[in-house]
Chains A and B, each alone.
Chain A
Amino acid sequence: MTIIIGMEGSANKIGIGILKNGEILSNPRKTYITPPGLGFIPSETAKHHQGCVLEILDEALREANVSLKEVDAIAFTKGPGMAAPLLTVALVARTLSLMWNIPLIGVNHCIGHIEMARAITGANNPTVLYVSGGNTQVIAYLEKKYRIFGETIDIAVGNCLDRFARILMLSNDPSPGYNIEKLAEKGKKLLTLPYCVKGMDVSFSGILSFLEERANNLLKKGEYTKEDLCFSLQETIFAMLVETTERAMAHCGSSEVLICGGVGCNKRLQSMMNTMCEERCGRLYATDERFCIDNGAMIAQAGYLMFKCGITTSLKDSWVTQRFRTDDVLVTWRDD
């Protein structure tokens, strides 16, 4: 029997998940929500995490009915992410490790997303679209690495959505992306936005500047509603993502797609991707907000796979890093 605790806090979510032989026993999470028009600043996000990390740990242990003595390893997010929040969580992980003499496992956040989504959906070897506030990558597994075939050449898709929500002063509760999604459902009129695809890469900064310059004016003149703008933004950027994913599938000869990361729970993105898959007799795998959005269980899941291969992280190597590429990790746990 293997019990792994996973601790995640690389951005504005803090979550702790407990896995027993790969089965999720608990997975509580809290989100640092800022007022409309504002993003989350690293130092303040870290303060939020510091304020509730022990409470969430308690909750996770209680719900799982597990005591720290029984835990085999503590997996924590090594990166990528914001430094201050990462440090907060790593510090707690190290302290627990020393107090209870439990080995540590430093996990790449992106790998956590991929492995969680694979475990939940049962997708075997899919082309992965990883979309979140800080990341936009089209990934496929080849020879022991998750290789990046396409990615954003500037800002992440979630960052584009978040910042657009700030232009419109939408609420950040539960997340800016969710509120854009809801408004977009009522949008009808498509505004032509820049469409920027370079092979399997995408770019969002031009779209964002375009909207920054025009959105408020278009609303004032009554030419477009907030709903129309949310609709236009989603239709455009999701079409770019589906197109580049399809291009990676065609290039790699793959027929499965897996969507993960926070933006991955957007129903419109899932439905567009599903249509694309149907048109090429492929299959889509997606999960809901419990697993798409950052959580502790995903770090525990990647940690569990690493632990089974005998990988642990020594105390002196338990530092965190803001930059940690998905393709830097040697995937020793996959044999295909």
Chain B
Amino acid sequence: MNDVSLITQGAEGRVFNAKFLGKNVIIKHRFKKTYRHPDLDDYLTKERIKAEVKSLVRCRMVGINVPALYDVNLHASEIVMENLDDAIQARKFIYERKADRSEVLGIGKEIGAVLAKLHSNDIVHGDLTTSNILIRPSSEKPIVYLIDFGLSYVSDKIEDKAVDLYVLERAVSSTHPDSDGFLEVLWEAYREKGGKKLNSVLLKLDEVRTRGRKKLCFG
């Protein structure tokens, strides 16, 4: 591997541009986080790489758009993935198209459908934010990609899926306070695609919400 250059430092690690077998790829390197105890760091880093790799493959098998996985090196804490360089973060997409409401709502609908597919296959992402959803422009409608599966896991529990959506809801309302209607179309598409089974997740979401709001906060 050569021509390695840093793209960004996310919360999970550093992301580099590189060449791999002649392809443009990105390398995600989970470097040692010296702030935490070495044993804990080692454990978490390994767990997250495994979680990410497993979910990327699982998503790919069921037709959810994720970057293709090319290589894993647990020892070096690196994974090599497809470079989606023409895709942008949903966060950026929403900021840039603030004026075009229908385009933003259109994206909400696409995201809702993808999440329904994710949860129908019992994959819980664990860190759904508009930074971890990518939008790739295409001649028809834009394509939604999911990334950053480090906190993901497999579960068929309604509770886990509802919390997954709650995390997204909170991230959206904090990051995009003026995106009226975005979450509504997202839930609608989720319900539509998910059918009866996922409708119960949305009902559970109501319960999770009141838990958050009712929390005592003093001190």
Binding site for B on A (CB under 8 A): 10-11, 79-82, 109-110, 132-135, 137, 140, 142-143, 145, 147-154, 156, 158-159, 190, 192, 195, 197-201, 235-236, 239, 242-243, 246-247, 249-252, 261-262, 271-273, 275-276, 279-280, 294, 322-327
CA distance in complex: A153, B33 (Å): 25
Question: By the criterion CB–CB under 8 Å, are B218 and A272 in contact?
Answer: no
* Secondary structure dominating the interface of B: loop
B residues in contact with A250, CB < 8 Å: 9-11, 131
B163 at interface by CB-CB < 8 Å: yes
Number of interface residues of B (CB under 8 A): 37
Question: By the criterion CB–CB under 8 Å, are A149 and B218 in contact?
Answer: no
Report B51-83 CB contacts with A as 1/0, cut-off 8 Å.
000000000000000000000000000000000
Question: By the criterion CB–CB under 8 Å, are A325 and B217 in contact?
Answer: yes
- Would you give 24 A-B contacts (Cβ < 8 Å), ordered by A? A10-B219, A80-B217, A80-B218, A81-B218, A133-B219, A134-B216, A134-B217, A134-B219, A142-B177, A151-B215, A153-B212, A195-B40, A197-B151, A200-B171, A247-B11, A250-B11, A272-B36, A279-B35, A280-B9, A322-B218, A323-B217, A324-B217, A325-B213, A325-B217
B17 at interface by CB-CB < 8 Å: no
B142 at interface by CB-CB < 8 Å: no
B127 at interface by CB-CB < 8 Å: yes
Kindly provide the distance from the CB of B198 to the nearest chain A CB, expressed in whole angstroms. Answer: 19
**With A199-B126, A199-B167, A261-B219 in contact, is A246–B36 under 8 Å at CB?**
no
Kindly provide the distance from the CB of B111 to the nearest chain A CB, expressed in whole angstroms. Answer: 16
Task: List 18 extra interface pairs beyond A147-B175, A200-B129, A251-B11, CB under 8 A.
Answer: A11-B218, A80-B217, A133-B218, A135-B218, A142-B175, A148-B170, A153-B163, A153-B212, A198-B151, A200-B170, A239-B40, A246-B11, A250-B9, A251-B129, A262-B219, A276-B35, A325-B213, A326-B217
Q: From residue 119 to 148 of chain B, which have CB atoms closer than 8 A to chain A?
A: 126-129, 131
B residues in contact with A261, CB < 8 Å: 219
A residues in contact with B196, CB < 8 Å: none
**With A190-B40, A198-B163 in contact, is A273–B35 under 8 Å at CB?**
yes
Report B77-112 CB contacts with A as 1/0, cut-off 8 Å.
000000000000001000000000000000000000
CA distance in complex: A256, B74 (Å): 31
Question: By the criterion CB–CB under 8 Å, are A80 and B216 in contact?
Answer: yes
A residues in contact with B11, CB < 8 Å: 243, 246-247, 249-251
B residues in contact with A135, CB < 8 Å: 217-219
Question: By the criterion CB–CB under 8 Å, are B33 and A276 in contact?
Answer: yes
B residues in contact with A10, CB < 8 Å: 218-219
Nearest A residue to B163, CB-CB: A198
Nearest B residue to A281, CB-CB: B9
Kindly provide the distance from the CB of A311 to the nearest chain B CB, expressed in whole angstroms. Answer: 21
